[in-house]
A = this chain, B = another copy of it.
Amino acid sequence: MRPSGRAPDEMRVITIETGFTKHAEGSCLISFGDTRVLCTASVEERIPPWLRGKGEGWVTGEYSMLPRATHTRGSREAARGKQSGRTQEIQRLIGRSLRAVVDMKKLGERQITLDCDVIQADGGTRTASISGAWIALRLAVNSLMASGDIKHDPITGQVAAISCGIYKGTPVLDLDYPEDSDADADANFVLLEGGNIAEVQATAEGATYDEEALLRLLRLARMGCDGIFSAQLDATK
């Protein structure tokens, strides 16, 4: 039995509030149960130095947790003077995942930064970040197209992410914090609408796993992402 009473293949309730902040070109507050992440897309008319003059754009991600997003207060990375390895790993994953669905030529010489700030954490913050960042990106690009700054839609599809894991011997979908901290294996899947895979990160924590388990987790992730794809479309209609 899962601590939350959910069925093994049952997602938490997803809620999405778009336009959560007024300055960002695109934004949403996305919740997976008690996990809440504010995702904003910021458009800037400058690109990284190594891309200059190529006629291409760039999409990148940043991630942070508010100090008291978690059960006990964590110290502020700005005060410590550096970002943790975990933060940097997640930031790189967010950027990579979103770039998988953007045509950089069509985006043109501009950068979109996807800031994912975790307001409240209850497991699955990185996957919620990716799923919400797509919405913020979609809204920002819509606005660029409405203003005529972009002619052809650079977004080639939807991307979403979900965590699955092996909890007390059972593969389960959408780990919350009590499960995450006690799972034998923990896998994050970044999937594209249509079935393709952008990223698999499947890590043994308490116990290693076999190929069959990996495939069952992937199947659960597909189910979960189908629900997220629908919610993304609803939110950006």
Q: Which residues of A contact B (CB under 8 A)?
A: 21-24, 27, 34, 38, 40, 42, 44, 62, 64, 66-73, 76-89, 91-92, 96, 100, 113, 115, 117, 119-121, 187, 192, 195-204, 208-211, 214-215, 218
Question: What's the Cα separation between A172 and B109 when bound, in Å?
Answer: 34
Question: What residue in chain B is nearest A114 (Cβ atoms)?
Answer: B68
A88 contacts which of B89, B198, B215 (Cβ < 8 Å)?
B89
Give the Cβ gap from A75 to chain B, nearest Cβ, in Å: 9
Question: What's the Cα separation between A73 and B114 when bound, in Å?
Answer: 11
* With A22-B34, A38-B119, A119-B21 as contacts: A214 and B202 at CB distance below 8 Å: no
Q: Could you tell me if A199 and B204 are in contact, using CB atoms closer than 8 angstroms?
A: yes
Q: Which residues of B contact A187 (CB under 8 A)?
A: 200
Q: Which residues of B contact A192 (CB under 8 A)?
A: 208
Q: Could you tell me if A62 and B76 are in contact, using CB atoms closer than 8 angstroms?
A: yes
Q: Could you tell me if B81 and A85 are in contact, using CB atoms closer than 8 angstroms?
A: no
Q: Could you tell me if B100 and A68 are in contact, using CB atoms closer than 8 angstroms?
A: no
Give the Cβ gap from A79 to chain B, nearest Cβ, in Å: 6
Q: Could you tell me if A42 and B68 are in contact, using CB atoms closer than 8 angstroms?
A: yes
Give the Cβ gap from A117 to chain B, nearest Cβ, in Å: 5
Q: Could you tell me if A64 and B85 are in contact, using CB atoms closer than 8 angstroms?
A: no
Q: Could you tell me if A115 and B22 are in contact, using CB atoms closer than 8 angstroms?
A: no
Write 20 A-B pairs (CB below 8 A) sorted by A numbering: A21-B119, A23-B69, A23-B120, A38-B66, A38-B119, A40-B68, A44-B72, A66-B115, A73-B113, A76-B115, A77-B78, A79-B83, A82-B82, A84-B88, A88-B89, A89-B89, A195-B210, A196-B204, A200-B200, A214-B218
Q: Which residues of B contact A115 (CB under 8 A)?
A: 66-68, 73, 76
Q: Which residues of B contact A42 (CB under 8 A)?
A: 67-68, 72-73
Question: What residue in chain B is nearest A23 (Cβ atoms)?
Answer: B71
Q: Could you tell me if A197 and B218 are in contact, using CB atoms closer than 8 angstroms?
A: no
Q: Could you tell me if A117 and B83 are in contact, using CB atoms closer than 8 angstroms?
A: no
